[in-house]
Amino acid sequence: MSNMADQRNPPTDAVRSHRVIVIRGDGIGPELMDAALLVLEAVGEQHDDFVLDYVEHEAGAALFRTTGVSLRPETMEAIKEADALFKAPVGLPEVRHADGTEAGLLGGLRVGLDTYANVRPVRLMPGVDAPIKAAPGSIDYVIVRENTEGLYLSRGKGVGTTEVMTDTMLISRKGTQRIARFAFELARSRNGAPSDGRRRVTCVDKANVLSSLAFFRQIFDEVGVDYPDIEQEHLYADAAAQELVQRPGHYDVLVMENLLGDILSDLGGATVGGIGLCCSANVGDDHAYFEPIHGSAPGLAGLDQANPISQILTAALMLDHLGETSAADSIRRAVDRVLDRAIVVLDASGRPIGGTRAAARAVADAIRLA
């Protein structure tokens, strides 16, 4: 799975090739990307039936600072033609628009690629000293965050005066139908909630307060009629913040509006040891891209201290999407193994003792030894 043919196992006609655009990002982004590419190289040595064909593009805050754009049109075109975009975190706190919002983020990707489903797994891995004391695997749910509308559709479009500002929440029938359907299909592909093995989709909203989210719930229920095999329930978002701390094992797939998903996925990440362990997929009908859920942590940049596991598990999500599930599983198994055997140990702030590079090498070695 590299661009170079393995001498012993030369690729045959049957070798699948996947074109992957790589964005190395800002802050800790480049070192996380190096770590993940090192792990993918080890995966490639074990799998000679596919290759990843990488094409690197520059994007993010550093690009914005020098050119005034964070994403070039030709990069967007390349992403649309590729099989996937693999990106590291972007953004720098000092690179901002006049209204105070960050200029280096690639928020336009989600709407531009119509990747309406933001898939955020929350799984308690072995060996992690998480604030919630529970057995590995006893927390294993996926937040499906609607990614193209909700309150964040207002991104860059907030209106007001010097005295008042408003952003608008937009929930559409079509947008909610497709995200609900995505959540139900995802639940069908999984093994159910850890606590009782039942396949379940939980609709998280504030239907008690906001008409827009009452509408979201109504559409969820309508779509749910097509999925009688999946247990269906509703949960208010504030109660969800409590539930995901007190009773996380009950949850399997949770579907929600954009802002709620942004917030609750960080909360979920914290419960299983921190967002430095959390990966995500942005999936649409035609395009997909893959990134950690956290930011670019510029204060840690270049120090070889950041946790690369989020980016490494993001690579696994990408391989799943490309249909290379056995390669993806080998990454997840290797990550579990190095954590379980304390080959990689995280300190109190979630950073790998021994550094970013050493952690990545440990995961790569675990893949080779598997």
Determine if 363 is a binding residue for ligand IPM (CB under 6 A).
no
Whole-number Cα distances in Å, 367 to 129, 149, 278, 291: 23, 39, 20, 21
* Active-site residue list: 152, 206, 238, 262, 266
Q: Using CB distances below 5 to 8 A depending on partner kind, what does residue 107 bind out of Mn ion, ligand IPM, none?
A: ligand IPM
CB atoms within 10 A of CB 358: 15
Q: Using CB distances below 5 to 8 A depending on partner kind, what does residue 346 bind out of ligand IPM, Mn ion, none?
A: none
3-class SS of residue 298 = helix
CB of 183 to ligand IPM, least distance (A): 18
- DSSP code for 5: P
Of 29 and 249, the one with the shorter C-beta distance to ligand IPM is 29
Determine if 262 is a binding residue for Mn ion (CB under 5 A).
yes
Q: Which of residues 82-101 bind ligand IPM (CB under 6 A)?
A: 91
Contact (Cβ atoms closer than 8 angstroms) between residue 144 and residue 258: no
Q: Using CB distances below 5 to 8 A depending on partner kind, what does residue 240 bind out of ligand IPM, Mn ion, none?
A: none
Q: Using CB distances below 5 to 8 A depending on partner kind, what does residue 354 bind out of ligand IPM, Mn ion, none?
A: none
Q: Which of residues 33-92 bind ligand IPM (CB under 6 A)?
A: 91
Which range touches Mn ion (CB under 5 A), out of 130-138, 157-165, 231-239, 262-270? Answer: 262-270
Determine if 146 is a binding residue for ligand IPM (CB under 6 A).
no
Q: Which of 107, 112, 192, 298 binds ligand IPM (CB under 6 A)?
A: 107
CB of 106 to ligand IPM, least distance (A): 8
What is the Cα–Cα distance from 8 to 192, expressed in whole angstroms? 41
Strand partners, 84: 20
175-210 as b/e, with b when 16 or more CB fall inside 10 Å? bbebbbbbbbebbeeeebbbbeeebbbbbbbbbeee
Q: Which of residues 269-298 bind ligand IPM (CB under 6 A)?
A: 293, 295
CB atoms within 10 A of CB 281: 22
Nearest to 278 by CA among 56, 73, 78, 121: 121
Of 38 and 263, the one with the shorter C-beta distance to ligand IPM is 263
CB of 336 to ligand IPM, least distance (A): 24
Q: Which of 62, 105, 219, 362 binds ligand IPM (CB under 6 A)?
A: 105
CB of 270 to Mn ion, least distance (A): 12
CB of 241 to ligand IPM, least distance (A): 16
Q: For residue 324, give both structure tokens.
A: 């290379």
Q: Which of 262, 320, 324, 336 binds ligand IPM (CB under 6 A)?
A: 262
Which range touches Mn ion (CB under 5 A), out of 130-138, 175-183, 259-267, 322-330? Answer: 259-267
Of 44 and 295, the one with the shorter C-beta distance to ligand IPM is 295
What is the Cα–Cα distance from 290 to 196, expressed in whole angstroms? 30
Of 252 and 291, the one with the shorter C-beta distance to Mn ion is 291
What is the Cα–Cα distance from 8 to 22, expressed in whole angstroms? 28
Cα angle, residue 88 at apex, residues 307 and 323 outer, rounded to 5°: 100
Whole-number Cα distances in Å, 79 to 140, 193, 251, 288, 339: 31, 35, 33, 9, 33
Residue partners of 176: CB distance under 8 A and separation at least 6:
146, 215, 216, 219, 220, 223
| Binding positions for ligand IPM, rule: CB under 6 A | 91, 105, 107, 262, 293, 295
| Binding positions for Mn ion, rule: CB under 5 A | 262
